[in-house]
């Protein structure tokens, strides 16, 4: 049997006012209890209350020069509302402007050099300055805060983590289990994995047909030096930017990296484009548990024979979001595929492949590769723009049959 493992498709100063005596001689006379003529004052005030006011009006704010030391985080969405902490020097009267717009303050703590504010709304994406006004002075930090398009309810990261388990002992040579993973950061948009394969559930499409899916996504050119790490606690996958594939990619992964039933966090995403912040995201992908395909009997010692409208059945494991069946019919010369049919199915245990799925004929005696994938799509949250992730985790059983 032939085998193929090709990959499918960030205060005013205080002022003291004191009375100034007209002359020093008068001050000296007052101190001796004498009147200005040098005679003793016959008026003796029995009131011994000394009127000595010790309240010195010395305002230390006069020495404060505002300064911005740090901003965290230094990004947020265009809808505003991101809570930002500024560390620096300022007085109680401090105020903040972000990109020229006044920010709402949450707390001002000069004694802790800490000010917390909420970023205001912005009209568009881009990097802006932050201005700290305090004590009739201004401190400005250029290019201090980046606005990103708000992605709430949209997708901002797509990808696939796949484990392929090749079954059956009828292959020429030993079977090979292999995994791969890729990620693509995207501009917030609409995307659904199932639509890549078919327009609705429990339908099939052929690569010879007219069905296409053009998602509303814009892909970033994130550049060389970019990398990402997925970590499950016991297993780890590191992806690097592959310009030919146009993704962060890891190939030829082994069981030490991919585990059935494992859930991975995105523990590091470092992108070459300086406009992107590094970020982490929890629960970004889950690999379904192992299962079996019972019909046709792919795991036997001989390849089964299947008709044009054959049945698929699977069992075991745990419920998934869906099933993808990929059926690849080899050409007569055995040099490639004559036709590939994709079926997007409910995870209900079975499906009958309709004869109408095949648009290029059904020659008898040809090898048919059958890949049955159980998949889940986790929805992690991207912190810098509130978009969701759409990373598909697949466990694929890969067998073959002959047409009849």
* pLDDT tens profile 201-220: 999 999 999 999 999 888 87
Q: How far apart are CA 90 and CA 65, in angstroms?
A: 7
Segment 262-280 mean pLDDT? 83
pLDDT, tens only, 89-132: 999 999 999 999 999 999 999 999 999 999 999 999 899 999 99
Q: Is the pLDDT of residue 389 over 90?
A: yes
| Window from 44-48, 129-133, 253-257, 288-292 with minimum mean pLDDT | 44-48
Residue 63, Cβ neighbours under 10 Å: how many? 9
With contact defined as beta carbons under 8 Å apart, do 249 and 356 qualify? no
With contact defined as beta carbons under 8 Å apart, do 133 and 65 qualify? no
Q: What is the pLDDT of residue 3?
A: 52
Give me the residue label for tokens 């986790």. 378
State which H helix or E strand residue 27 sits in: helix 24-31
pLDDT, tens only, 158-214: 999 999 999 999 998 888 899 999 999 888 999 999 999 999 999 999 999 999 999
Average model confidence (pLDDT) for the chain?
A: 86
Token code pair at residue 112: 């802790």
Output the pTM of the full model: 0.77
Closest by Cα among 392, 370, 321 to 9: 392
Token code pair at residue 341: 């049919």
Sequence-distant (≥ 6) Cβ neighbours of residue 391 within 8 angstroms: 157, 158, 159, 160, 161, 183, 284, 285, 377, 378, 380
pLDDT, tens only, 307-350: 999 999 999 998 999 999 999 999 999 999 999 999 999 999 99
Q: What is the pLDDT of residue 1?
A: 59
The sign of the dihedral angle between the CA atoms of 78, 81, 87, 93 is positive
Q: What is the pLDDT of residue 175?
A: 86
Which domains occur in the chain, in start order? 62-148 (2.60.40.10), 155-403 (no CATH)
């Amino acid at each position: 049997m032939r085998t193929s493992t090709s990959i499918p498709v960030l205060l005013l100063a205080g002022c003291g006012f004191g009375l100034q005596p007209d002359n020093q001689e008068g001050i000296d006379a007052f101190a001796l209890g004498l009147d200005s003529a040098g005679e003793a004052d016959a008026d003796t005030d029995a009131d011994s209350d000394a009127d000595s006011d010790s309240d010195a009006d010395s305002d230390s704010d006069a020495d404060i020069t505002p300064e911005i030391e740090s901003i965290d985080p230094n990004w947020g969405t265009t809808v505003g509302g991101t809570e930002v902490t500024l560390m620096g020097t300022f007085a109680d009267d401090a105020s903040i402007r972000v990109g020229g717009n006044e920010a709402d303050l949450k707390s001002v703590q000069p004694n802790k050099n800490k000010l917390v504010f909420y970023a205001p709304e912005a009209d568009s994406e881009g990097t802006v300055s932050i201005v700290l006004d305090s004590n009739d002075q201004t401190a400005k930090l250029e290019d201090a805060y980046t606005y990103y398009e708000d992605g709430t309810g949209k997708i901002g990261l797509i990808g696939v983590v796949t484990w392929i388990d090749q079954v059956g002992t009828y292959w020429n040579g030993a079977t090979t289990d292999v995994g791969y993973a890729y990620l693509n950061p995207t501009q917030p948009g609409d995307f659904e994995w199932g639509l890549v394969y078919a327009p609705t559930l429990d339908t099939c499409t052929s690569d010879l047909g007219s069905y296409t899916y053009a998602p509303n996504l814009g892909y970033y050119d994130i550049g060389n030096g970019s990398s990402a790490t997925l970590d499950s606690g016991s297993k780890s996958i590191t992806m690097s930017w592959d310009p030919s594939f146009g993704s962060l990619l890891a190939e030829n992964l082994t069981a030490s990296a991919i585990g059935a039933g494992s859930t991975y966090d995105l523990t590091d995403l470092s992108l070459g484009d300086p406009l992107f912040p590094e970020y982490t995201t929890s629960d970004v992908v889950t690999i379904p548990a192992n299962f079996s395909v019972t019909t046709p009997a792919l795991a036997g010692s001989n390849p089964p024979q299947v008709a044009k409208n054959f049945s698929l059945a699977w069992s075991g494991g745990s419920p998934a979001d869906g099933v993808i069946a990929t059926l690849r019919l080899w050409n007569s010369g055995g040099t490639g595929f004559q036709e590939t049919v994709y079926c997007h199915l409910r995870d209900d245990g079975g499906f009958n492949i309709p004869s109408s799925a095949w648009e290029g004929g059904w020659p008898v005696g040809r090898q048919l590769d059958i890949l049955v994938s159980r998949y889940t799509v986790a929805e992690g949250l991207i912190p810098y723009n509130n978009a969701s992730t759409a990373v598909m985790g697949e466990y694929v059983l890969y067998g073959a049959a002959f047409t009849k």
